[in-house]
Amino acid sequence: MKQTVPAFILLLTLAACGGASTDQAKTEDKKEAAVAAGTAYAIDTTTTAVQWRATHKGGFAPRFGTIKVADGSLNVENGAVTGGSFDVNLATLAADPASVTEPDKKASDLEGHLKSPDFFDVAKYPTAKFVITGVTAYDSTKQKSLLAGATNLISGNLTLKDSTLNITFPAQITVGANDVTANAKFVIDRSAWGISYKTEGSPENWMISKDVEIGFSLKAVKK
């Protein structure tokens, strides 16, 4: 097995995958996009950050890094986010050099492997996309999140390669007079989007955890 192998993700974002510090996103079939009512806020791509973290089986050899958001917007009505979407430029996927500890490997090796047809096939699928399908208030008396200060549950369609599934996760959203900030950290199962190294049952794929942690720190400003 190549030592450069991890598993995504993007997008778009952190603690051991699937561990006791991160929520597992609920995954369902694709849903209708939310009606984006109200005032539009443009995603600030210079300050918005998406982080990813993945490990080998058992949490060993963690790999982590970032991916840049290309564009997007959120809509706000009556002080609440109603909808929106953003695109992630997978060509900007970067691996933190601190996560590649083998003396004969470099972060660029890992980045190239993740962008190759072995994983995201960035030449064919250069963009990942997230489209909000619903935003609800988070009730801490009925729900339990590992994200400190969670204020909302966000549901949205996540497209990776040629697969789109709906995910739901807690987030901390703050709506100001001129900007919106949102923070989240959650785990997805990469295999649900058909992202596997070699074949699903191969030893090489088995060695990589299916859990991938995604985090984002998003800022949008009123247009």
Percentage of residues of the chain with pLDDT beyond 90: 68
Q: How far apart are CA 223 and CA 221, in angstroms?
A: 6
CB 215 within 8 A of CB 185: yes
Give residue 20's pLDDT: 44
SS3 per residue for the chain: CCCCCCCCCCCCCCCCCCCCCCEECEEEECCCCCCCCCEEEEECCCCCEEEEEEEEHHHCCCEEEEEEEEEEEEEEECCEEEEEEEEEEEEEEEECHHHCCCCCCCHHHHHHHHHCCCCCCCCCCCEEEEEEEEEEECCCCCCCCCCCCCCEEEEEEEEECCEEEEEEEEEEEEECCCEEEEEEEEEEEHHHHCCCCCCCCCHHHHCEEEEEEEEEEEEEEEC
Q: Would you say 99 and 7 are in contact if contact means Cβ atoms under 8 Å apart? A: no
pLDDT above 70 covers what percent of the chain? 85
Q: Higher model confidence: residue 25 or residue 141? A: 25
pLDDT in tens, 39-84: 999 999 999 989 999 987 667 778 999 999 999 999 999 999 999 9
Check residue 123 and give left, alpha or beta (phi > 0: left; psi -120 to 50: alpha).
Answer: alpha
Report the alpha-carbon angle 117-131-93, nearest 5: 35
What pLDDT does residue 210 have? 86
Taking CA atoms, 132 is separated from 8, 72, 80, in Å, by 21, 11, 13
Q: What is the pLDDT of residue 203?
A: 62
pLDDT tens by residue, 169-217: 999 999 999 999 999 999 999 999 988 776 666 666 657 888 999 999 9
Look at residue 202 in the predicted model and tell me its pLDDT: 65
Query: Is pLDDT above 70 for 96?
Result: yes
How far apart CA 142 and CA 165 sit, in angstroms, is 25
